[in-house]
Structures are given as structure tokens and as C-alpha cells.
Amino acid sequence: MKKTIITVVGKDSVGIIAKVCTYLANNKVNILDISQTIVQGYFNMMMIVDSNESPKNFEQLATELEQIGEEIGVIIKTQHEDIFNKMHRL
């Protein structure tokens, strides 16, 4: 199972997680793990998700998440987990 990492970075405001999670639920993307911190007023979130059941492909999910990011004023990046595994795990 190939997992996907979604990162959300930006100014903190009400409802960021709700918005992203609602989108993921509507598109049958299962959230496996969430970590979130606030660094100097900036919202930093990482999600590990499984999108294998989603009717949408990677490109569609990544593009639509970017659009949601623009609407709520944060940057949402979607990447396959392998780039992180390769760099940080032997």
C-alpha cells in the first residue's frame, strides 16, 4: 500500500483541520496519522493518508487540496511517502 503525506503550513485560523478532513472524507481518503504543531503562530500539520479507495487519482487530489489551501490561506502539499522514507530510513 503506497501512502501519501499531506502537509499543511500557514497562518493559524479556525477550521483548517475540519476543512481538510471533510474533503478527505468526501473523497474516501483514510487518515492513518495526524501530527500538528504551532511554530511562532504558524500552523504546521502533517497527515499520513491512504488514498487507495478514493475514486480520484493522485493528480486530482493534489490539485484540489491545493485549491482548498488557497481558499483558506494555507499551503497544502501532497507527496508520496517514498521521498521521505528514502531520505530518512535505511
Q: Cβ(43)–Cβ(9) under 8 Å? A: yes
Select from 62, 64, 68, 72 the one that contacts another protein (CB under 8 A): 62
Torsional sign, CA 81, 86, 88, 90: positive
User: What minimum distance in Å lies between the beta carbon of 74 and another protein?
Assistant: 14
Residue 70 in grid coordinates: 488557497
Residue 70 binds another protein, judged by CB under 8 A: no
User: For residues 41 and 24, what is the distance between their CA atoms, to the nearest angstrom?
Assistant: 25
Cβ-based nearer residue to another protein, 27 or 44:
44
Residue 83 binds another protein, judged by CB under 8 A: yes
Cβ-based nearer residue to another protein, 26 or 37:
37
User: What minimum distance in Å lies between the beta carbon of 42 and another protein?
Assistant: 11
- Alpha-carbon torsion angle 45, 46, 52, 58, nearest 10: 80
Residue 81 binds another protein, judged by CB under 8 A: yes
